[in-house]
């Protein structure tokens, strides 16, 4: 029997590169996604993307910002854009619900306060996910990886000022493989994506030569090389 009505929901895939610490050593930063745990059926206890039903008096961007504000401080959100539509008639039980997903990015130094039912999860080890939210996370990460190659979207994941080693770790976490800091610098400087601030980082406990600090030249998304594509080491 076909559906007699169709509803619409908006869901946000919010990423942040976060430092994970734990014994016996300090680990590399990882790309994390913001999830909340469902407290009622269907799929009580499963983890889900923040969002909900689109109201009749709002557009999708207004709706996703309203619902995200219930989970995270929107002042910490550096980028938000609409991604895709998921329209399988049976993606959720009951009345048909079409979902529009949004990509949100939070810079790595931010520590937004979260409600008790919400937390960050590494994208490489997602918990049991509600409905089709797992594929939504995978799709959003694929879009982020692509945009890291041909746009300046890294600005939304990085601090305002950073050493190249920190930027290397952020790009590596987002792309899913190790990145060479020298090659990354050469590519991003040539494209006018980053430039030196003229200052240096404070020396750490181990001493050594202080690192030069860089910043992104723009804090809004722009295409830098529409045909570019970062590739893992060993791939042509």
DSSP of 104-120, one letter per residue? EE--TT------TTEEE
* In contact, 15 and 141? CB cutoff 8 Å: yes
CA distances 229 to 12, 125, 175, 214, Å, are 25, 25, 11, 22
Mean of pLDDT over the chain: 91
Q: Is the confidence at residue 126, as pLDDT, over 70?
A: yes
The SS3 of residue 193 is coil
pLDDT, tens digit (0-9, with 9 covering 90-100), for 34-78: 999 999 999 999 999 999 999 999 999 999 999 999 899 998 999
Phi and psi (nearest 5°) for 43? 60, 45
State the CATH class of domain 6-148.
alpha beta
Tokens of 188: 């991003």
Q: Considering the domain 149-216 in this protein, what is its CATH number?
A: 1.10.10.10
For residue 5, the model assigns a pLDDT of 78
pTM across the whole model: 0.92
Q: What is the pLDDT of residue 21?
A: 59
Q: Where are the domains of the chain?
A: 6-148, 149-216
Give the span between the Cα atoms of 34 and 151, in whole angstroms. 23
pLDDT at 22: 54
Alpha helix positions (H), the chain: 60-68, 133-150, 164-175, 181-190
d(CA 210, CA 44) in angstroms, rounded, equals 51
Q: Can 6-148 and 149-216 be said to share one CATH topology?
A: no
In this structure, are residues 12 and 51 in contact, taking their beta carbons and an 8 Å threshold?
yes
Neighbouring residues of 94: CB distance < 8 A, sequence distance ≥ 6: none
Closest CA to 223 of 153, 168, 145: 153
Distance CA 49, CA 35 (A): 5
Task: Please state the length of the chain.
Answer: 236
164 by Cβ neighbours in 10 Å (0-12 / 13-18 / 19+) ranks as middle
Q: What is the pLDDT of residues 164-222, one digit of tens each?
A: 999 999 999 999 999 999 999 999 999 999 999 988 877 655 556 788 999 999 999 99
């Amino acid at each position: 029997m076909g559906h007699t009505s169709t509803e619409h929901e908006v869901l946000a895939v919010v990423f942040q590169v976060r430092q994970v610490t734990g014994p016996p050593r300090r680990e590399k930063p990882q790309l994390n996604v913001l999830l909340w745990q469902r407290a009622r059926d269907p799929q009580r206890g499963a983890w889900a993307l923040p969002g909900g039903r689109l109201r009749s008096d709002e557009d999708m961007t207004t709706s996703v910002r309203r619902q995200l504000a219930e989970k995270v401080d929107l002042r910490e959100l550096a980028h938000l854009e609409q991604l895709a539509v998921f329209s399988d008639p049976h993606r959720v039980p009951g009345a048909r619900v079409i979902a529009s997903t949004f990509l949100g990015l939070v810079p790595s130094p931010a520590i937004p306060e979260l409600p008790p039912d919400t937390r960050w999860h590494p994208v490489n080890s997602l918990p049991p996910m509600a409905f089709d939210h797992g594929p939504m996370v995978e799709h959003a990460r694929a879009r982020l990886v692509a945009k890291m190659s041909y746009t300046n979207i890294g600005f939304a994941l990085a601090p305002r000022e950073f050493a190249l080693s920190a930027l290397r770790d952020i790009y590596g976490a987002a792309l899913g493989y190790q990145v060479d800091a020298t090659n990354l610098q050469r590519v991003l400087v040539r494209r006018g994506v980053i430039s030196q601030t003229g200052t240096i980082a404070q020396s750490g406990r181990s001493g050594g030569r202080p690192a030069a600090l860089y910043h992104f030249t723009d804090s809004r998304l722009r295409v830098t090389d529409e045909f570019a594509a970062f590739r893992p080491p060993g791939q042509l």
